[in-house]
Amino acid sequence: MLFNSLQYLVFFPIVVIAYFALSPKWRTYLLLAASYYFYMSWKPEYIVLILGSTIVDYFIAIKIHGTDVKKRRKQWLALSLLVNLGVLFLFKYFNFFAESTHEVFAQMNIFYDSPAFEFLLPVGISFYTFQTISYSVDVYRGKLEPERNFPRFALFVSFFPQLVAGPIERATHLLPQFKQKFNFEYERVVSGLRLMLWGFFKKVVIADNIGLLVDQVYNNPGEQNGLTFLIATYFFAFQIYCDFSGYSDIAIGSARIMGFDLMENFKQPYLSTSIREFWSRWHISLSTWFRDYVYIPLGGNRTVKWRWYYNLMITFLISGFWHGANWTFIIWGAIHGILLIAGIQVAKFVKTPKKRLGIWISRLIVFHLVVLAWVFFRADTVEIAVDILKAIALIYRDVLDYLSGSSVFLGFGEIELVTVAYFGMLIALLYSIDWLLTQEKAQKYYLNSPKLRMLTYFILFYWIVLGGYFGKTTFIYFQF
């Protein structure tokens, strides 16, 4: 079930009405049933996986908390990691390793039939796996006691607003909320609906429309030139941002209507002045997860310099691999690790800009570094990504060919240039709103102006209805 589907627009109001109509003691069961239905709407049999993960971590956490023997606690934690990561490996990474091993042996003239695991990747498996792992680790570290109410813990694992693409919640934050009684509050509901409306706009008006052009270019790389690749890559940067942040907005807004507070997942990342700042603003729930459960356990920055850089690179390589079983994602993670380390070195010699011009120059530099890295994220293979970057680097040739009349300058298939210009206008609008969201005075003025708010709601709603793309699409991060 997609957020941007008629099915969800029927499902969600029914759940909300039933939630506030029921006695608080029954609400957990309602949300659990709704969450399982939500997940099973994709592939019913995969509910076994999420149930298995829930049962394993529920009992293992109790076992960890029930013994003071350090060795025994480590063994229980290792079992939790083995089960969760084992299932994730089987469904997401087995074929990648099998094919990579086959290619290595083929280079040595050793040939054999490569085994293949022919199953559809369970939607959201990377997200709920990381969520349950963080729970087991936090219990092991003594940050919280295990949840002994099984339905409540099962709801923590499967809570439908954030089940398939985050935010990746911590048990210390979300579990206590399931014990609270939330009444219907008008202001909170309006706030949640407002966030959902903005999320729908970003998804169906910006991301899905722009995605048509991006797919046209990246799915037919042999028919493109440097300029079309460059424009499509710029557009992909905003497609993935609006797609994922739009999902997060709808998820957070849906939960907020019922009284639950999910963590902020995006904070105007393309206004960052450094790669470090970018990762404090982009997919915040994942970046903080890797910080707390990979980077810090490796030693963080409290070690010698070479080890610190090693810790950063390992963290980003794993982060890249988390996104997908493809060398393109690993290289994308490596690029960000290298950029972050380079940024640390540059910061020793270049002061942080304080004047407006310097800040915007830094933002433009960081934005373009991120955009170039997105090429590996979007391309199907490393070879195609390299060819795209070469074409972009030689873009001046396309300009000269166009001026001489020997080539077509832009080739977006059936997408007209006026449509491309419209997409550019959408991006400019998004960028402007993101900037306004950083201005306190603008926010106060907006919140204190009912007429302006109603006008905004009206425009966004009708823009979604009239300008939204409602073809067959999904959220990009569902594949991870």
Average pLDDT across each block of 10 residues of the chain; the chain has 480 residues. List them in order: 85 96 94 94 89 95 92 94 91 80 76 71 86 95 94 95 89 94 93 93 93 90 85 94 93 96 94 94 95 94 91 95 91 96 87 82 94 95 94 80 62 71 89 84 83 89 89 72
Q: What pLDDT is stored for residue 412 in this prediction?
A: 66
C-alpha to C-alpha distance for 332 and 231, rounded to whole angstroms: 19
Which pLDDT score, from 0 to 100, does residue 474 have?
75
In this prediction, residue 109 carries a pLDDT of 74
Predicted pLDDT at 405: 63
| Interatomic CA distance for residues 58 and 53, integer angstroms | 8
* Token pair for 148: 């002994």
Cβ–Cβ < 8 Å for 91, 129: no
- Residue 144: per-residue pLDDT: 92
Distance of CA 328 to the CA centre of its chain: 17
Catalytic residues: 323
Single-letter amino acid code for the residue at 19:
Y
Q: Where are the domains of the chain?
A: 6-181, 188-273+352-479
Per-residue pLDDT at 472: 75
* Residue 209 DSSP SS3: helix
Write down the pLDDT at residue 108.
76
CA angle, residues 170, 258, 164, in degrees to nearest 5: 50
Between the alpha carbon of residue 291 and those of residues 46, 131, 319, the distances in Å are: 30, 14, 10
Q: How far is CA 178 from CA 27, 38, 304, in A?
A: 9, 18, 43
100 SS3 class: helix
CA atoms within 13 Å, Cβ hemisphere of 192: 22
pTM of the model: 0.91
CA distance 96 to 328: 12
Q: Specify the pLDDT at position 190.
A: 93
So what's the pLDDT on residue 372?
A: 95
